[in-house]
Chain A
Amino acid sequence: MAAKVASGTNKVFQNHDDVHISFEDQQRINRFAKHNARMDDFKAELETKRSELKSLEEALEEIELFDEDEDIPFLDMLKETKEQVLKEIAGVEAKTKVIKAEMDELKAHLYQRFGSNISLEAED
């Protein structure tokens, strides 16, 4: 499972400072937690796609070394697939960026609101 954001008793509000949590605050915390989980998904997705890309590139490099007249079936498809994977990686990266931006915003807001009473760092 994803990294915990507001994990129970030991995390969110530790000390005596009486901070009132409004419904909006709660929703912001929820949003942050959700984004955080999604971020982990994207990271995993990127990893698989990058390794796929690596295999494709290695295959293509290997083929480069062959004789010119060697007939490789489906070479075009291989190239197309590589382009496709590149595009998919770019797509996921773009999505990550959007989420990261919103997370930073939420983080700034929540830290300003709750200071050291809240911990929003990923535990890795």
Chain B
Amino acid sequence: MTGIMDSVEMPKLPENQKTFAGIPEAVFLEEIDTFMSQPENENCEKVLQRLDEQHGKYRFMACNLEARRRKLKSQIPDLERSLEMVNVLRKEDEERETQFLLSDQVFIKTLVPPTKTVYLWLGASVMLEYPLDEAEALLNQNITSAVGNLKSVEHDQDFLRDQITTTEVNMARVYNWGVKKRQAATKTTATTPA
């Protein structure tokens, strides 16, 4: 049951790509002065605006990834439970008396005969009967692909978070650079008139 999270590897990244979703990389500013002296960065406000826009885009991607991750995270335990159930059914070799939930608060006694088949929900209100072995194989396959997907989503999330943090630091640096520039400017105007 556990161990599946460790045994399934993350799928291979597309060639020359750092992420599955092709997230653009945020550029780290090695030298703020050099960066700001580039012709397109002459206006501090504009640079900030551009970074802010980029930041917004990253956040949007982060939301999407988070939604995907949450969905997968809830799918996996469901699949695991189904798989567990298949294994329980396989071990049953005589009729078992049990109760099942008929509707809210109402349980009903029933006899469950041993079975060789099980019904799986396939989604979209479709349920299909499978022999136990096939059900197990199908569930295993679904779990493996869900875990693989989860791992790639988490990989992308990590990468994206790096880009967001880098962009935030860039914004702070550009902003401070602007403040310093203005301070220096007022200082010169204050001292020159004499």
A-to-B contact residues, CB < 8 Å: 1, 4-9, 11-14, 16, 18, 21, 23, 26, 29-30, 33-34, 37, 71, 73-74, 77, 84, 87-88, 91
B-to-A contact residues, CB < 8 Å: 1-2, 28, 30, 55, 62-63, 66, 88, 96-98, 157-158, 161-162, 164-166, 168-169, 171-173, 175-176, 180, 183
Complex CA distance for A1 and B88, rounded to whole angstroms: 38
Closest-CB distance, B81 to chain A (whole angstroms): 10
- In the complex, what residues of A have CB within 8 A of residue B175's CB? 9
**How many A-B residue pairs lie within 8 Å, measured between CB atoms?**
64
Per DSSP, are chain B's interface residues mostly helix, strand or loop, or mixed? helix
Which residue, of B2, B55, B96, B169, has the highest number of chain A Cβ atoms within 10 A? B169
Which residue, of A13, A87, A91, has the highest number of chain B Cβ atoms within 10 A? A13
Which of A1, A11, A16, A34 is B180 in contact with, Cβ under 8 Å? Answer: A16
The answer to whether B169 and A73 have CB atoms under 8 Å apart is no
The answer to whether B172 and A33 have CB atoms under 8 Å apart is no
Q: Besides the contacts A33-B161, A33-B164, what 20 more A-B pairs have beta carbons closer than 8 Å?
A: A6-B168, A6-B169, A6-B172, A8-B171, A8-B172, A11-B168, A12-B168, A12-B173, A14-B176, A16-B183, A21-B173, A23-B28, A26-B169, A29-B169, A30-B166, A34-B158, A34-B161, A34-B165, A71-B97, A73-B96
